[in-house]
Amino acid sequence: MTTPLAEDWISDLAADGALPSPVSTAERIVDILRTWLSDGRIAPGSRMSEEALSRALGVSRNTLREAFRLLVRERLLVHELNRGVFVRRLTVDDVHSLYRLRRILEVSALRDGLLLPPGVNRLRTAVDEGQAAAGRQDWQAVGTANQHFHQAVAGLLEDPRINELMSQLLAELRLAFHVMHPLEDFHEPYLTDNQRVCQLVEAGDGQGAAEVLLAYLTRAEHQLADAYQALKTDPRST
Amino acid sequence: MTTPLAEDWISDLAADGALPSPVSTAERIVDILRTWLSDGRIAPGSRMSEEALSRALGVSRNTLREAFRLLVRERLLVHELNRGVFVRRLTVDDVHSLYRLRRILEVSALRDGLLLPPGVNRLRTAVDEGQAAAGRQDWQAVGTANQHFHQAVAGLLEDPRINELMSQLLAELRLAFHVMHPLEDFHEPYLTDNQRVCQLVEAGDGQGAAEVLLAYLTRAEHQLADAYQALKTDPRST
DNA sequence: GCATATTTGTCCGTATGTATA
DNA sequence: CTATACATACGGACAAATATG
């Protein structure tokens, strides 16, 4: 508080919604790596070399290893003793498991969550975001909006723990999506389902919305699992 | 496969259910610390001094820090930048959040899980374990059996991810239970509820079991949250 | 199957910054 | 305000395991 301008950048940061909250180097590395994984910039199965990455990121091996441990518990990386860490490679069973948990969480949210302004607005925003992206034929953005939609569904429970669980779950699923980016229009058919679910929620019909979503998720699960299964019998899968 | 006895110790280990799988030092430290926390040997809010613990455990500070990172993501420890790591102290909101997730998972398991031999047997075993412990007036063991019961309920979904989520959730809840060990007979009234749920499951009535369990969990949530709240207004809570 | 190079696992020492008595 | 204790982060070392030719 020595400079008179201190207040200014404090409020600037506060306006961003994020408090100053300096973070550890390991946490910063986690953010970077999580983004890379989220964007599909590192393929599942890739080796995360300590030497190469620590040099590329400009941190010590020790610090990088701490970041690895955090991401291992987030299930984005796997650790093989004396072999190092690798980008997690989802099995078909993993895909089914992730969808099972999604169904449980999202259906519960629609049945038991508060179908009122704070949460319902987030739903509507995500639906509009998806339709706008579809209008621009931006399928990448359609996919992102779709994730926002499902995050918003879980968000109806207004529970930070469940929000985090949901976003972790979606991050894991992205490990499967990127493997199959040949089908970029994968999310497109779900736009109308999202719209329908949102309308039912706005009408206060959580039970009806839950039924639509349940059928929707089951369909998506099989579509993804089948395509994913097909990749495994594909010569390219090392 | 050089020795003719190879098959023997492979099957011996397989009989144990655990493959050889040597683990890293950090993972071993995690196991130790998790046990200590599970047993309530370190009170929530305690400082986990790097210097003291690394010396006590006979590992380097680097290795200990890796173990800390793993436990932070398991939500058993919290990391405060430049202040170190501390045993997580649950808030009353945390307790509500944990019970909300329990209700979602356990109720879903009873409604959608397979009410058949592999899973149902685990349920019955846990119920019997609890009643035997109550017969010996061993309330500690009653509590343990109760956790096994709920783990078995979630286990009806036969999903490893959900099993892990459930056991992590119960580990977190223990952080609250130990704070209130004045009420050692806390779990006792639930023995009959567990029995009732188990009977309904054995009769194939998942819906009925879910309803009993829902009421049960809601009651337990309020009882724990109230007692926990009371502790915060207590002078002892630092 | 073997010898070699590479990489991980783990430890130590230390300089710097931050919090607190 | 100072002093002390502690966490942060780095770099180097070496054994052990693994990958490579």
Chain A: residues touching B (Cβ < 8 Å) = 22-24, 26, 62, 65-67, 69-70, 72-74, 79, 81, 94, 97-98, 100-101, 104-105, 108, 112, 157, 159-162, 165
Rounded to whole angstroms, the Cα distance separating A151 from A129 reads 13
Model confidence pLDDT, tens digit, residues A142-164: 889 999 999 999 999 999 999 99
pLDDT band at A42 (very low <50, low <70, confident <90, very high): very high
At A160 the pLDDT is 97
At B14 the pLDDT is 44
Instruction: Say yes or no: Cβ of A59 under 7 A from any atom of strand D.
Output: yes
- pLDDT exceeds cutoff 80 at A19: no
Count Cβ atoms within 10 A of the Cβ of residue B35 and give its class: 0-12 exposed, 13-18 middle, 19 or more buried: exposed
Model confidence pLDDT, tens digit, residues B79-97: 999 999 999 999 999 999 9
B23/chain A closest Cα distance in angstroms: 7
Rounded to whole angstroms, the Cα distance separating B103 from B221 reads 10
Question: Which residues have CB under 8 Å from A140's CB, separation 6+?
Answer: A184
Q: Which residues of A188-208 are buried (b: 16+ CB within 10 A; e: fewer)?
A: bebbebbbbbbbbbeeebbeb
Rounded to whole angstroms, the Cα distance separating A158 from B230 reads 25
Rounded to whole angstroms, the Cα distance separating A30 from A23 reads 11
Nearest by CB to B104, from A26, A65, A104: name it.
A104
Rounded to whole angstroms, the Cα distance separating B133 from B139 reads 7
Model confidence pLDDT, tens digit, residues A57-80: 999 999 999 999 999 999 999 999
The model's pTM is 0.89
Question: Residue A113 is encoded by which pair of tokens?
Answer: 């969550």
Measured in angstroms, what separates residue A55's CA from nucleotide C1's C1'? 36
How far is the CA of B70 from the CAs of B52, B87, B90, in angstroms? 19, 13, 18
Rounded to whole angstroms, the Cα distance separating A24 from B223 reads 39
At A210 the pLDDT is 96
Q: Rounded mean pLDDT of B42-49?
A: 96
Instruction: Say yes or no: Cβ of A62 under 7 A from any atom of strand D.
Output: yes
Average pLDDT, chain A: 88
